[in-house]
Structure 1
Amino acid sequence: MSVEAICSTLTMLERMHKSLLELAMKKTEIITAGNIEALDQLLKDEQAHVAAIDKLEQQRQKQVTEYLGAKGFASTDKTTVANVIEAAEQQTDRDTLSAVRNRLLLIINDLKKQNDLNQKLVYQSLQIINLTLDNLRPQPEQINYSGSEVRGTNSMAKKSYFDSQA
C-alpha cells in the first residue's frame, strides 16, 4: 500500500465531507424557512452522503492498516493517518498526508459546528410548536364539565363509590 493511495482516499473523504457541509448549510436555510418536504429530501441526500463516507472511511482504515503492517508496525484497533505520517519515510509524503489530514479535520470541525447549529434550530422549532399547541389546547382547569362549575371546585366532600355504597 502506498501513501498516494491513502492520500487519494483522504482527498475523496475531504470532498464528501465538503459536500455534506454544503448540505448542512442548506439544511439551516430549510429549517429556518420551515419547509418540511425539502427537509425530508435533504435528509435522504445526507443519508446517501453518510453511507458513502462510511465506505470511504472503511477503505481508509484498511489502507492505513496495510501500510503500517508493511512497515512492520503492530496492528492496533486505532490505526490513524497520524501513525502513517510518523511511519512515512519521505518528507514529501509526510507533508502531503499532513496537509490533506489538516484540511479534512477543518472541514469536519466546520461540519460539527453547522450540525450543532441545526440541532439548536430544530430544538427551538419544536419548542415553538409545543408552546403553540399548549396555547391551543384547553387547560384541564378551564374545562367546564358540569355546566356552571369548574371541575375540582365542587364544595362537597369527595367520596369514593366504595364508601358511599357500603
Structure 2
Amino acid sequence: MPLTTLIESLERLDEAHLRMLDLAGIKKQTIMDNKVNGLIDIMNQESKLMKQIGQLETARSEAAYAYIQSVGIRSNLQLNLTELTRLVFDPEDKVRLQHIQQKLSDTLHRLKHANDLNQKLIEQSLSFIDYSLDLLVGRPNQEFTYHHPSDKSSGSARPGIFDARG
C-alpha cells in the first residue's frame, strides 16, 4: 500500500511537470511574439504550479518515508528513487517504480531543455532591446582620435545627447 501511494505521488508530480512543460512551450511563443502581458500571466501560472509541485514533492517524500518504514527500515533516510527501487522485491512493483522514475526523469529533462531555451530567448530579447535603445539614445560621444588615458582634460565626455553649455 505505501508503494502504491509513492507511485501515485510520482505520477501526480509527472503530470504537474508536464503542465509546466506545456507552459514552457506557450512561454516560448509568447517571448518570440514579444507579448509582455502574456509573459506575466504565464509566469503567474508557473508560480502557482511551482507551489503545487512543492506540495506534491512533500507528499512524495512522506510516501517514500512511509514505504521505507513499511519494509522495516526505522531510520529517517532520504533515499532517491534508484535506491528505493533496490528495496522493492516484487518484480511488478519494481517495474512500475522504474517506469514512473524514467517517465519523470524524461519529463524533467525536456522541461530543463525548454527552460534553457526560453532563458536564451529572453537574454536575446533583452540584448536586442538594449541595442535598440543604444541606437535611439546613443552612447555618450566618444572622441575618435587617440588621447592618453591619463589626460583627463582632453575630450569632453558628455553624459547625454544634449549639451547645456552651448
Of 83-92 and 133-142, more deviation after overlay is shown by 133-142
Does the Cα contact within 8 Å between 1:85 and 1:98 map onto a contact in 2? yes
Shift of 1:138: 3.4
Shift of 1:153: 4.1
- Matching residue of 1:127: 127
- Matching residue of 1:147: none
Does the Cα contact within 8 Å between 2:2 and 2:70 map onto a contact in 1? no
- Kindly report structure 1 stretches of 4+ aligned residues shifted beyond 3 Å: 151-154
Distance in 2 between the 1:120 and 1:103 partners? 26
Distance in 2 between the 1:46 and 1:40 partners? 10
- Matching residue of 1:106: 106
- Matching residue of 1:51: 51
Q: CA RMSD in A?
A: 1.7
Shift of 1:85: 1.1
- Matching residue of 2:85: 85
For the residue of structure 1 that corresponds to 2:89, the secondary structure is: coil
Distance in 2 between the 1:152 and 1:133 partners? 28
Distance in 1 between the 2:138 and 2:80 partners? 58
Shift of 1:134: 1.0
Deviation per CA, 1:56-112: give whole Å up to 9, x if none: 001101110121123233322x32222221111211110000001100100000000
- Matching residue of 2:36: 36
Distance in 1 between the 2:88 and 2:76 partners? 16
- Matching residue of 1:11: 11
| Distance change (3 Å), C-alpha of 1:69 and 1:138 | same
State the one-letter code of the partner of 2:113.
K
Distance in 2 between the 1:113 and 1:68 partners? 33
TM-score normalised by length of structure 1? 0.81
TM-score normalised by length of structure 2? 0.81
- Matching residue of 2:97: 97
2:42 is equivalent to residue 61 of structure 1: no
Distance in 1 between the 2:79 and 2:155 partners? 69
Which structure carries more helix by proportion?
Answer: 1
Distance in 2 between the 1:138 and 1:8 partners? 58
Does the Cα contact within 8 Å between 1:61 and 1:80 map onto a contact in 2? no
How many pairs are equivalent? 145
State the one-letter code of the partner of 1:91.
P
